[in-house]
Amino acid sequence: MEWIPENIKRTILAWCALCVFSGSVFGQADSVKLKISHLTGDFYVYTTWNKYRGIAVPANSMYVVTEAGVVMIDIPWDPAQRTPLLDSIQARHQKKVVLCLSTHFHDDRTGGLNWFREQGIATWSSKETLDSCRARGEQQAEFYFEKDTLFQIGQHRFKTIYPGGGHTKDNIVVWFEQEKVLYGGCFVKSTESEGLGNIADAVLDEWGISIRRVMKVCRKPKYVIPGHGGWASNKGLKHTLRLLREQ
């Protein structure tokens, strides 16, 4: 399936909220609200902070600038950073966000979908993620896909891949094959991580198998973006396997 969005009209506030970043990524939610990092080419990773078990934790998401508009993979975990993020994108790239894709049902990936839909942005998720959100009374994407799906937005092409259970039963990854960029989300742990993090909804007996499936399909990624923590290393898939073996 290929989907090219129509031009979406909405009002963008004129305020620019580009934020700077310094120091450790943990424990700074009170001082740093939003960090935007250039990854490569048209790819940017943005990070917001929220509290998990009383500790400020960073959450990574990504956006890609295309000729047809900006594609967001996952949403800001901090609701207060929704407008600053869109304003920053508009100020930096003079483009609007046209599509937002959530990679699993947890609220650091789906919280705010209704708000983005109100801004005229097409919101997408897998059918399994939509069903999980619906069963929990959580916000849901407007559109969904039921199998691995190829999207063509402007000059960029990417594929959603369901590898099997892992961090959650519905988690997907997003693969930009031409640029060798793998957005792993919470399915992949940062090489900085010393544990698997939140495993309340994890499918531990499948996770390793699912990781190996991704490694077979997504060959030699140059960049692997985890849901939390740093991405300087592209060895996140192997690191996640090691953490699972130690579990």
77-103 pLDDT, tens per residue? 999 999 999 999 999 999 999 999 999
| Catalytic residue selected from 42, 60, 74, 106 | 106
Q: Indicate if 239 belongs to the active site.
A: no
185-215 pLDDT, tens per residue? 999 999 999 999 999 999 999 999 999 999 9
| Catalytic residue selected from 50, 74, 78, 104 | 104
**Confidence category of residue 43, pLDDT binned at 50, 70, 90:** very high
Q: Which three-class secondary structure string do you get for the chain?
A: CCCCCCCCCCCCCCCCCCCCCCCCCCCCCCCCCEEEEEEECCEEEEEEEEEECCEEEEEEEEEEEECCEEEEECCCCCHHHHHHHHHHHHHHHCCCEEEEECCCCCHHHHCCHHHHHHCCCEEEEEHHHHHHHHHCCCCCCCEEECCCEEEEECCEEEEEECCCCCCCCCCCEEEECCCCEEEEECCCCCCCCCCCCCCCCCCHHHHHHHHHHHHHHCCCCCEEEECCCCCCCCCHHHHHHHHHHHC
The architecture CATH gives domain 34-246: 4-Layer Sandwich (3.60)
Q: Could you tell me what percent of the chain has a pLDDT over 90?
A: 84
| Catalytic residue selected from 60, 74, 78, 167 | 167
pLDDT at residue 7 greater than cutoff 80: no
